[in-house]
Amino acid sequence: MYVDASTLSPAATYRLLVGSVVPRPIAWVTSGIDIVNLAPFSSFAWVSQHPAMLGFTVNRRHDSRKDTIVNIEKFGEYVVNIASDDMLPALHASSEFFEPSVSEAEHLGVALAPSQSIRVPRLLKAPVAMECRFHSTTAFSPTGGEFVVGTVVGWHIADEVMSGGRIDTEKVRPLGRLAGPRYSKLGAITELPPVPGG
């Protein structure tokens, strides 16, 4: 079948997007200083190699912007944490709507640890946590999202997941987001010989 994108409602477009772009990595973002907000975002990628810059899209609520983007723009810093698969229940639960006065991290009992270069704390048990400084927000159409970009100013990497100067994916055990409340875990890894010039 062929689907003409101009015929789709926002909801139908969303359904096709989340089914087409799979599995998506998940930025589990801590933001805010006194009240530490925690929420997952899977419209997530790195957008620059050096400096390392990360981006994710924050969709709009009917009547307000999400706490994460409000905090990021207000404080200018945040942490992108990467969860291991054993953190899935808390990651999923942290997507519930709470008023800005509620810290999802505190509510769910997810332990925080101080960051090194920024005031926003990171997640203690995340195998990888990237401290970020806010770079920009790009707003798309009224029905689109807002793309938030930040520069990584520091990495916290658990000793157990490092091997030979690299992050070992099998030790991180990352999650992927599929359509709806569905996730993937790391499956078998296939390795091929490098391609010249690739």
Ligand X SMILES: Cc1cc2nc3c(=O)[nH]c(=O)nc-3n(C[C@H](O)[C@H](O)[C@H](O)COP(=O)(O)O)c2cc1C
Q: What span, in angstroms and rounded, lies between the C-alpha atoms of 98 and 95?
A: 9
Tell me: does residue 67 bind ligand X (CB under 6 A): yes
- Name every residue whose Cβ is closer than 8 Å to that of residue 56 and which is 6 or more positions away in sequence: 27, 29, 41, 42, 43, 44, 45, 80, 147, 148
Tell me: does residue 130 bind ligand X (CB under 6 A): no
- Name every residue whose Cβ is closer than 8 Å to that of residue 194 and which is 6 or more positions away in sequence: none
As a residue count, the chain comes to 198
* First-last CA distance in the chain: 34
Tell me: does residue 77 bind ligand X (CB under 6 A): no
**18 versus 167: smaller Cβ distance to ligand X:** 18
Tell me: does residue 105 bind ligand X (CB under 6 A): no
Tell me: does residue 120 bind ligand X (CB under 6 A): no
Single-letter amino acid, residue 30? T
Tell me: does residue 78 bind ligand X (CB under 6 A): no
Instruction: Report the residue from 54, 55, 68, 150 that binds ligand X according to the rule CB under 6 A.
Output: 68
Instruction: Report the residue from 8, 25, 35, 59 that binds ligand X according to the rule CB under 6 A.
Output: 59
Binders of ligand X in range 10-49 (CB under 6 A)? 26, 37, 39-43
User: Rule CB under 6 A: which residues touch ligand X?
Assistant: 26, 37, 39-43, 56-59, 66-68, 92, 95, 97, 177
